[in-house]
Amino acid sequence: MTDRYRRRTLLSLAAATMVSGCLGGETTGDPSTSTEPPTKTTEPPMVEPDYDTSLGHDVESWSRYDPAWRAPTESPEIEVELETLVTGLEIPWDLSFAPNGDLFITERVGRVNRFAAGELESVASPEDAIDAEAVDQGSRERSWFLDGGEGGTMGTTVHPSYPDVPLVYVYYTYRHDREWYNKLVYVDVSADDPASHVKTLVDEIPANRFHNGGRIAFGPENYLWVTVGDAGQKARARDPSFLGGKVLRLTPEGEPAPGNPDHGGDPRVFTVGHRNPQCITWQPDGTPVITEHGPGPDEVSVLAPGSDYGWADARDPPAYRTTDGVTPPVASSLGNTWAPAGGVFYTADVVPAFRNRLVFGGLGSQRLKVATLTPADDGDPTTDLPPLGETGVRHDGDWTDGSWVATTHDLLVDEVGRIRHVEQGPDGALYLVTSNRDGRASGPFPTGNDDRLLRLTPA
């Protein structure tokens, strides 16, 4: 593996001045600091970015659209090669590629970074976001809830017309009057002072020290999707009038997307009954897929508009069999811990064994998970399924979603630690970030160069 690149500048939403500097050696995520005393400045007035954010909503225009896609039948258990691109990040959470190839990376401590032309530049730091504490590189400190809990600066995505519409969307946690909330905003990263060019799209999203959800992404029809955890209020996760425990579907301005289901609740809600979903991605025909953390079993689910996924009344096989009106998962960890994080339904050719499969990170399990979702009516499900091999598990119980037969496999077990997110790059490779500095890693992690941005290709 090779370590390369240099972190160059820090541009903060919390300040009007720029601190810049070069770090020698490999790229690190620790921003340069100045020894000069701060200069008092007058805070500029807030200005909402003024761009035409409207988009077309034709799924057939999506670059990954393939209504005739088929689930693969070969094994995904292959040898892979990892290239380290950036080290020294502080609890990175999300990755989002812009149409021009720029990569945006959030760190839960309060930064949004842009990685382009081999350099990492911090372009935004929401001034009211909580600071999720990161342990030192190589630290043996173990704390389930460091300052900030599971909150902080989490999801990010880029407007599909970037850089003509230079807006970066951010989902983050803040405190007000001793209460915790999550917020969805967009920031004009082309402004001289992004601190004063921010628009709030959705505010007072339920938050807590745990179960904040936080993944945001533009889907195949250019609507904005947001996963929201139950924020500890599990009794309301199935209530469509409450934003906690939901998947939202919005316009680029944060309004309810046309065609959202009519369930008598908040019109921004697409599905209900979720515990802590932290992945939203799409099959090549545009069907949404999520992963979510469970209290024991973790889950992968295929979403349908207006559906109820059962939390907190259904989570195990007996409850799914007997609870009316809920949609069971296509895969469940059942007695094991995946702690599933962000991922992508991979459609490129650079890693052929992963094509048309869901690839997602494992936190507590410290591995890469690869899930094959085979439609139950696609050929003969007894023969047209991938072999189990060394790590495979078939998820075909009488209580799971009968429309699919899911098969999961494991890679990179305890090789890089806690994998927070996996994303498909414009070059067709897979990119992933680790989350070893959040106090929850085990074994030798965090190492002296955690946290890292890595590029995955076949060996």
Report how many domains make up the chain.
Answer: 1
pLDDT band at 149 (very low <50, low <70, confident <90, very high): confident
For the ranges 26-40, 64-78, 124-138, 205-219, the lowest mean pLDDT is seen at 26-40
What is the distance between the alpha carbons of residues 220 and 71, in angstroms, rounded to a whole number? 19
| Contact in structure between 183 and 197 (CB atoms under 8 Å) | no
pLDDT band at 24 (very low <50, low <70, confident <90, very high): very low
Amino acid 93: pLDDT:
98
- The order of strands in the sheet holding 119-124 is 18-20, 6-11, 119-124, 111-116, 103-107, 92-97
Does the pLDDT of residue 4 top 90, yes or no? no
Task: Domain of residue 100: give its range.
Answer: 6-32+54-458
What is the distance between the alpha carbons of residues 414 and 368, in angstroms, rounded to a whole number? 9
Backbone phi, psi, residue 403, to 5°? -75, -10
| Contact in structure between 358 and 343 (CB atoms under 8 Å) | yes
Copy the structure tokens of residue 232: 């500890």
Tell me, yes or no, whether 246 lies in a domain: yes
Q: Which residues make Cβ contacts (< 8 Å) with residue 203, sequence separation at least 6?
A: 181, 183, 184
Structure confidence by residue, pLDDT tens digits, 195-221:
789 999 999 999 998 999 999 999 999
Tell me, yes or no, whether 42 lies in a domain: no
Tell me, yes or no, whether 73 lies in a domain: yes
Tell me, yes or no, whether 437 lies in a domain: yes
Tell me, yes or no, whether 372 lies in a domain: yes
- Higher-confidence residue of 412 and 141: namely 412
Tell me, yes or no, whether 40 lies in a domain: no
Tell me, yes or no, whether 63 lies in a domain: yes
Amino acid 29: pLDDT:
60
Tell me, yes or no, whether 37 lies in a domain: no
Structure confidence by residue, pLDDT tens digits, 301-322:
999 999 999 999 999 999 999 9
- Higher-confidence residue of 21 and 399: namely 399
CATH of the domain at 197: 2.120.10.30
